[in-house]
Amino acid sequence: MPTADGLPDAAAHAAAAHAETERRLIDALTASGRYQVIEKLEARPHYHRPDGTPTKWALFVDVETTGLGEDDRIIQLAAVPFEFAKDGRIFRVGACRSWFEDPGVEIPEEITRLTGIGPEHVAGQRIPDDEVRALLDETALVIAHNARFDRPHLEKRLPMFADKHWACSQDDVSWRAEGLESTKLGWLAYRMCRMFYEAHRADADCLMAVHLLASTLPSGRTAMAALLDCARAKTARVWAVGSAIETKDVLKRRGYRWNGDAEEGRPKAWWRDVPEQALEAESQWLAAHVYRGTPRHQVQLLDGRLRYSTRRPPGAPRAWTPRA
């Protein structure tokens, strides 16, 4: 008679014996204190069982492109929908969807070496807009690990992404405050989860990132709970207008980026996004290190509909007024 999982008794016993042997070997190696064992990521259909808690759907996305520039083109898009609760618990995880797209230009050899994606994968392929739109219809939050890169590329190719709230699993979780030295996905997979996976393929990156969000941080919260707290808050886009040229290196080390095209809503100035609650401290830093006195920077407040987007926020930045 077959067992409940459909395997014949002999095959089921052999599989169980093999799993037990693996467990004992892992325990022995770990107990020695000389070894660490890392596990290969396997896709999971859920992390928590339904318990009546209200949930929403998020969509984790990742793109591979022909390069790292703003004008480079998408060659692969992967998306994993998952169900989450307000407290950060992750419930069902949908199937990973992945599509190739012919960029219409040559894929550089270094990109093929990094991603494994060559001309033979993308020839004649195109991301189906209607299928992506159907996924987004049920989505309350889009997440990427480096949304500053993924969001502008997706908005350019698939404008429907511009209508969604976004979060970033790299920037919206305080990994370094949790004692983790790097925010790179492969490093976090190893340090947080003791796992490895096929990195630099969009589908594998998505599945690993969802697993990471479901994991518990050293502080005791899930990474998803930390991300949601940040995603619900507003972001302050700080423009260091009128900064002296000799302060550019100080600003760059602080994480500011240069915008050289002055237009409404985008001054010709160094700029940086910080959490709204950090605006007071950032303003004090600018007063001390950039302006050497009275601050002259300007501020725009953004929510998740504009965070990590290169689209122009509505209205011009306002001069910052210190709190009384």
The DSSP line for 87-145 is TS-EEEEPPPEEEE---SSPPPHHHHHHH---HHHHTT----HHHHHHHHHT-SEEEET
84 and 153 inside one domain: yes
- Examine residue 62 and state whether it is found in any structural domain, yes or no: yes
Q: How confident is the model at residue 97 (pLDDT cuts 50, 70, 90)?
A: very high
243 and 151 inside one domain: no
- Examine residue 37 and state whether it is found in any structural domain, yes or no: no
152 and 178 inside one domain: yes
Cα-based distances in Å from 148 to 12, 120, 153, 303: 47, 29, 9, 14
- Examine residue 13 and state whether it is found in any structural domain, yes or no: no
94 exposed, middle or buried (CB, 10 Å; 0-12, 13-18, 19+)? middle
208 and 152 inside one domain: yes
242 and 205 inside one domain: no
Q: Report residue 149 CA to chain centroid gap.
A: 9
**Residue 263: pLDDT above 80?**
no
Q: Is the model more confident about 218 or about 198?
A: 218
84 and 151 inside one domain: yes
Domain boundary among 232, 258, 287: 232
- The residue segments making up the domain with residue 177 are 55-232
197 and 225 inside one domain: yes
Token pair for residue 8? 């014949």
- Examine residue 19 and state whether it is found in any structural domain, yes or no: no
145 and 190 inside one domain: yes
Q: Which residues 6+ apart lie within 8 Å of 41 measured at CB? A: 189, 193, 195, 196, 197, 204, 207, 208, 211
268 and 195 inside one domain: no
Mean pLDDT over 222-246 rounds to 94
Domain boundary among 232, 266, 289: 232
| CATH code, domain carrying 65 | 3.30.420.10
pLDDT confidence of residue 140: 97
170 and 292 inside one domain: no
**Residue 4: pLDDT above 70?**
no
CA gap 150, 255 in Å, rounded? 19
Helix (H, G, I), strand (E, B) or coil at 283: helix
Token pair for residue 65? 């492109």
91 and 159 inside one domain: yes
| Domain count for the chain | 2
pLDDT confidence of residue 6: 56
Q: Which residues 6+ apart lie within 8 Å of 121 measured at CB? A: 75, 76, 100
Q: Convert the pLDDT of each residue in 111-120 to its tens digit.
A: 999 999 999 9
φ and ψ of 293, to 5 deg: 150, -130
221 and 259 inside one domain: no
CA gap 123, 148 in Å, rounded? 28
